[in-house]
Amino acid sequence: MKVPQGWVRAAVWAAVGITYSVALTILVTGIIDLVGEDEISRHGIEVPADVIDVSVSSGGDSGPTSTVTVRFKPRGDDLTKTTTEVSYDGDFGAEHPNAERQGTRVEYDPNDPEHARILGETGDALDRVIAGVVFTAVIGGFAVLLWKRSDILGV
């Protein structure tokens, strides 16, 4: 059965559009997270924290990632303990084997104490920005090539 050529063109452009949307989403979320990390870098307060729980996911090709639940007292507030989950690139338990017993240090945003990160961990926001830029450029280049050379699709 022969597929009408209009359907081939529509399917290819739909695939390009969906892929381009994914690339832009990666780029935009990376930029948003990078701006948030920058806020912690500028105004963050470093405090000791108890490690409550660590869960590690395989992460596929990019390696493992950990979700670390920490509890800490925001500076100047002895009555409140903040418990939050932070992301960590890598296997936190393997890289910090004594953390659940000895604790760790976190840096948090004084305006939003639940916005915290393990001290020294920059997260993967910059990686997502770079991947988003590259992915967007490659898919955009492919789309331009298809636009200019519609004979590639045989139509």
pLDDT means per 10 residues in the chain (155 residues)?
66 83 84 72 84 82 81 81 81 81 86 81 68 84 77 58
Residue 54 near residue 92, CB atoms below 8 Å: yes
Backbone dihedral angles phi then psi of residue 51, each to the nearest 5 degrees: -90, 115
User: What is the pLDDT, as a whole number, of residue 124?
Assistant: 64
The pLDDT, as a whole number, for residue 142 is: 81
In angstroms, what CA-CA distances link 40 with 45, 82, 112, 116?
Answer: 8, 16, 10, 7
The string over 123-136, giving b where at least 16 C-beta atoms fall within 10 Å of a residue's C-beta and e elsewhere, is bbbeebbebbeebb
Q: Rounded to whole angstroms, how far apart are CA atoms 122 and 37? A: 7
pLDDT at 141: 83
Could you tell me which residues come within 8 angstroms of residue 110 by beta carbon, excluding any fewer than 6 positions away? 43, 44, 45, 74, 75
- Asked whether the whole model's pTM tops 0.85, one would answer no
Give phi and psi for 75, each to the nearest 5.
-60, 135
Q: What is the pLDDT of residue 131?
A: 80
Task: Name residues whose C-beta falls within 8 Å of residue 96's C-beta, 6 or more positions apart in sequence.
Answer: 51, 104
For 127, list phi and psi in degrees, rounded to 5.
-60, -40
Instruction: Report the pLDDT value the prediction gives residue 37, as an integer from 0 to 100.
Output: 67
Residue 144 makes CB contacts below 8 A (sequence gap 6+) with none
Question: Would you state the pLDDT for residue 60?
Answer: 65
